[in-house]
Structure 1
Amino acid sequence: MLVLITFLSGVFLVPNSFADSKERDEIIKFIKQKKARWSAKDTKISRFTKAERKKRLGSQIPTQTIQEKILAITSAPVPSQLDWRNYNGNSYVTPVKEQSECSDCWAFASTAALESNKLISGNTPGVFLDLSEQTLNSCSGAGSCSGGYIDAAANFLRDIGLPLEACNPYTATDGMCSVSCSDWLINPYKISGWYKVNPAVEAIKYALYNYGPVVALMAVNTDYYYYSTGVYEYSWGSFEGYHAVLVVGYDDAEQCFIIKSSWGEDWGEAGYGKIAYSEVAGNSQFGFWTIAYENAIPTGFPTQDNIPRDPNNPNTTTQNGNSNEQLSILTGSVKDESGNTVSGAEIKIDKYKATSNAAGSYVFSSLPAGSYIATVSKKGYSTLSANLTVTAKETVTKNFVIYSSGTGDKSNDKKDDSEEIQDEVYGPGWINVRGEHVTLEKAGKFFKARKEKMLAEASEKAPLAGAAADYETDEIKELAYALRYDPKLIYEYVHNNIDYVPYFGSVKGAQLTYLDGSGNDFDQASLMIALLRASSGKNANQTIYTAEYVFKFLNIPADNLANWFRVPKSKVAFVLNGGFVPYATNNGGQSYLMARAYVKLIVNGQDYFFDPAYKTYNNYDNDNKSPMSTSDFGTAMEYDRNAFLNVALSGATVEPNGYLLSAKTS
């Protein structure tokens, strides 16, 4: 941006930073007044607007729990000066990087610490190692371009690790977790654990010598943007936010720590800076949250000034951390029915939770391999549940679509000019669209092929949609217990609490049908069978229940179907087509031969049949779209239209334009 300044002699264009020269001059004045040991100048960061400056911060304060291992102050000796950029003539610090307009300094500091950790543990100074900050940003769940947490980042580096930069280059955006190197989870760069360092000068120095460079948080004040050289201590300005840096050394002679920032080489001393020890307890709160990574310094690593490393170093004890042998990453996006990203949606998978960010992306890091049910919810949207499988040591992508309240899935709508499409027919929680009429012949071929496949697998009674596994879930077991292992109560629960939705085939299975509270006849049968199997032998008499599916073509009167679907009788075929339910009409459309699934229960050799999905509703008018016609309400309220109008018009004046004056309202 340029500022236009007019003088008598002409017009000059000068940089916008001219407008901030007063701020810079104030800082320089206070540095001199306080006799501080640093100098200020215009930097790339100071030239930014306030909003742009904020984007260079963004570290959040972790919430301390009892799970952290604390590295306390120790009396063990350390050198009076330490700089991992020049440790016995060798550098174990990787080059300065720039985070750009993304508040992920937390990711840069954490990645830089891991890079140094690997150079030290392998004793490979000077080796170019460039790991992927974008993977921490997009795959860890520790944060995003809106800020993040160094403790959560450390957990990810412990449990999962990082690939090389080339596998997932930095974009400075909240992108999807997309790592091009397919084998990176097999052999990632990672740590074995981490310690929280006590916020004290001696504790941080101890950690630096015994563990290597550490990650530290600090409060940034306005003057810090202008840092040029010397030992920084707060001089002027207000609090701007928290910044994560890599601490690479210290110097007792200058009474300072040496830090590496992620603001590029234009800031400070070519991207580095010095922070006074006094700022640990000062305005900068330097190191109030500091993390040291375990196992950086191997046995036999060269000492400095002949000072041995602490023999009581916790590195020699049993390490913490979870094995990532079977851990994976699950990532994806949440969008609405129009393809717009949905931020703030909560995704629940077992005991794990994540929230979609501003780009609609979410990520679960360190997710054990296995089969899960994901539930996606946000106020104002429908709640979605879906089955998914996470394979070991893989990055699995799963995208979700949730619908704004009051809408349904219209993605398959085929709009034309027919009256049937324009007259949308709504049922209990679903919307109909035109579907292909599935004939009984097609359905017969489908089930014949299915039966042949099951016979080939020696499993003719194989369950539909995974119901056999479903009854092992905790939710199914708890529900069976709550229903007292009673077949009658189980039937009544499914019949009365699970809404029928017209679609064909086994899709959801028992668990998902239970969580969604809806399903077709196949899936409601799956739920009832799963509950019966979970109840077998569990009641006081230890009664054994054998539950099976029954599939038949049943002839059902059109009036009954209209009541069941809660639509006008003329729309029954429309509903069946929309759900691709096989049928044939009889008696000129007065009845339908339908493909149905229900439950057969065998108890002590006696067969019992249950159809939990088939519902009937009282007072439903099949020729209208409401449970009770207008005349029914009027009768119930003893309402008479003519009598009402006679009373209202008595003594009233009707104007020529149709307005009614002085009508009786009581």
Structure 2
Amino acid sequence: MRNLKIATFILGLVFLFSCEKEEDIIVQGPQQENQKNHAMGALFVDDATYQSFDKVDADALVLKYKGKNASAKLLPSSFFVSGQPTVGNQGNEGSCVAWATAYAGASILESNFKGITQSRSPEYVYNQIKQGSCSSGSYITDALDLIENQGVCSFSEMPYTDTECSTQPNSYQKNAASTHKFISWATVNKSKIDDVKKLLSLNLPIIIGITVDQEFNNLQNTGWILKKRSGSVLGGHAICVVGYDDAKQAFKVQNSWGTSWADNGYFWIDYTFFKKSVYFGGVVEEAYVAYVQ
């Protein structure tokens, strides 16, 4: 069934790449809030569970869309996905998973493959998958499953607040969400840097979960490029990879800590560090790609 859904997604690539775009669509984001301490909230499944999930075949996607000609296999030296929403701010809630999957990931996919420019609601997702209080975290896979099964309504239909997380979607919001679903999702092999680039070059954002430590406080000294781990672990965090640049040898990442953080809300992860195993000092715990019809 999931393979059938992925085949359906391939047809969506025709829509994306047959339409010329004069400029990237900027989706309306939430109000910026300044804060000193940043919330996170990503929880990770065990390794056996993670390995049991479907795995993306990046080459198959490129082949289906671009064919067998030699130029189809060439990757640009840099690429940034279209349709990115304005960087938002999760505030004090542990809602990063919902921001990475619904607000960043789903908004980008809806914009690029369906021409829908309304950003998706992190509130809709987080309030249903949080593991406890408003400061508690959630699993990326729970968010992906929820969006695949229910969909996700727009930000304007269920606005985000970081002061209350118990409100559940009403019938109107669930009905609105039902036409904005993922048709499938899969894990991404982070150790294959070219595969990650291939997916991004197809305008597919990569949702990742990372371990955050005190090195995050030193990013300004490295041009906002995360290259190593240092200091004590602060927690798990979900973010969305939205591009790459070979000149920097790094992937560009949209965070959910507002535009006043780092490089207008973005930072970078060094290629070599990105693919490094967490068992040998790496930070990327999980990586996923989702599809819309």
Q: Same fold (TM over 0.5)?
A: yes
Q: Which amino acid aligns with 2:227?
A: E
User: Are 2:158 and 2:173, in contact at CA under 8 Å, matched by a contact in 1?
Assistant: no
Structure that is richer in helix per residue: 2
Q: Which amino acid aligns with 2:251?
A: F
User: Are 2:131 and 2:138, in contact at CA under 8 Å, matched by a contact in 1?
Assistant: yes
Is the aligned partner of 1:255 residue 2:249? yes
Aligned to 1:71: 56
User: Are 1:167 and 1:179, in contact at CA under 8 Å, matched by a contact in 2?
Assistant: no
Find 2:96's aligned residue among 105, 113, 128.
105
Cα deviation code 1:536-560 (max 9, x no counterpart):
xxxxxxxxxxxxxxxxxxxxxxxxx
2: distance between equivalents of 1:134 and 1:272?
A: 21
Structure that is richer in strand per residue: 1
Find 1:96's aligned residue among 69, 87, 96.
87
Q: TM-score with structure 1 length normalisation?
A: 0.33
Find 2:107's aligned residue among 112, 115, 132.
115
Cα deviation code 1:150-169 (max 9, x no counterpart):
11100111110111222222
Cα deviation code 1:322-365 (max 9, x no counterpart):
xxxxxxxxxxxxxxxxxxxxxxxxxxxxxxxxxxxxxxxxxxxx
User: Are 1:74 and 1:202, in contact at CA under 8 Å, matched by a contact in 2?
Assistant: no
Partner SS state of residue 165, structure 1: coil
Cα deviation code 1:113-157 (max 9, x no counterpart):
000000110246xx4x22211111112467763001111100111
Is the aligned partner of 1:267 residue 2:261? yes
Partner SS state of residue 186, structure 2: strand
1: distance between equivalents of 2:184 and 2:88?
A: 25
Partner SS state of residue 170, structure 1: coil
Q: State the Cα distance separating 1:205 from its structure 2 match.
A: 1.8
Aligned to 1:168: 158
Q: TM-score with structure 2 length normalisation?
A: 0.72
User: Are 1:194 and 1:293, in contact at CA under 8 Å, matched by a contact in 2?
Assistant: yes
Partner SS state of residue 289, structure 1: strand
Is the aligned partner of 1:136 residue 2:149? no
2: distance between equivalents of 1:57 and 1:122?
A: 30
Find 1:215's aligned residue among 196, 207, 212.
207
1: distance between equivalents of 2:230 and 2:170?
A: 43
Q: State the Cα distance separating 1:226 from its structure 2 match.
A: 4.5
User: Are 2:242 and 2:252, in contact at CA under 8 Å, matched by a contact in 1?
Assistant: yes
Aligned to 1:61: 44
Q: What does 1:320-399 correspond to in 2, within 5 Å?
A: none
Call closer, same or farther: CA 1:155–1:182 in 2, change over 3 Å.
Answer: closer
Is the aligned partner of 1:149 residue 2:139? yes
Q: Which amino acid aligns with 1:156?
A: L
Q: What does 1:185-584 correspond to in 2, within 5 Å?
A: 185=176, 187-200=178-191, 201-210=193-202, 212-228=204-220, 229-234=223-228, 236-280=230-274, 281=276, 285-295=282-292
Percent identity of equivalent pairs: 22
TM superposition outliers: structure 1 runs of 4+ over 6 Å: none
Call closer, same or farther: CA 1:110–1:70 in 2, change over 3 Å.
Answer: same
Q: Which amino acid aligns with 1:137?
A: Y
2: distance between equivalents of 1:62 and 1:142?
A: 13
Partner SS state of residue 264, structure 1: coil
Cα deviation code 1:371-418 (max 9, x no counterpart):
xxxxxxxxxxxxxxxxxxxxxxxxxxxxxxxxxxxxxxxxxxxxxxxx
2: distance between equivalents of 1:295 and 1:260?
A: 20
Call closer, same or farther: CA 1:82–1:277 in 2, change over 3 Å.
Answer: same
Partner SS state of residue 207, structure 2: strand
2: distance between equivalents of 1:169 and 1:140?
A: 17
Call closer, same or farther: CA 1:209–1:288 in 2, change over 3 Å.
Answer: farther
User: Are 2:94 and 2:135, in contact at CA under 8 Å, matched by a contact in 1?
Assistant: yes
Cα deviation code 1:470-506 (max 9, x no counterpart):
xxxxxxxxxxxxxxxxxxxxxxxxxxxxxxxxxxxxx
Unaligned runs of 5+ in 1: 1-43, 85-90, 297-666
Q: State the Cα distance separating 1:203 from its structure 2 match.
A: 2.7
Q: Which amino acid aligns with 1:68?
A: F
User: Are 1:72 and 1:198, in contact at CA under 8 Å, matched by a contact in 2?
Assistant: no
How many corresponding residue pairs? 237
Cα deviation code 1:250-281 (max 9, x no counterpart):
11221100000000011110001111112221
Unaligned runs of 5+ in 2: 1-33, 63-72
Q: State the Cα distance separating 1:242 from its structure 2 match.
A: 1.4
2: distance between equivalents of 1:285 and 1:142?
A: 26
Cα deviation code 1:80-111 (max 9, x no counterpart):
21111xxxxxx410100000111111110011
Q: State the Cα distance separating 1:210 from its structure 2 match.
A: 3.2
1: distance between equivalents of 2:177 and 2:291?
A: 21
Compare relative contact order (CA 8 Å, sep 6+) and give the higher one, 1 or 2: 2
Aligned to 1:159: 149
Q: Which amino acid aligns with 1:71?
A: V
Call closer, same or farther: CA 1:73–1:186 in 2, change over 3 Å.
Answer: closer
Cα deviation code 1:162-189 (max 9, x no counterpart):
1122222212233131437356257432
1: distance between equivalents of 2:123 and 2:151?
A: 12
Find 1:82's aligned residue among 79, 82, 86.
79
2: distance between equivalents of 1:70 and 1:188?
A: 25
Cα deviation code 1:450-479 (max 9, x no counterpart):
xxxxxxxxxxxxxxxxxxxxxxxxxxxxxx
Call closer, same or farther: CA 1:289–1:235 in 2, change over 3 Å.
Answer: closer
User: Are 2:154 and 2:177, in contact at CA under 8 Å, matched by a contact in 1?
Assistant: no
Larger radius of gyration: 1
2: distance between equivalents of 1:142 and 1:205?
A: 33
User: Are 2:101 and 2:207, in contact at CA under 8 Å, matched by a contact in 1?
Assistant: yes
User: Are 2:150 and 2:178, in contact at CA under 8 Å, matched by a contact in 1?
Assistant: no
Partner SS state of residue 275, structure 1: strand
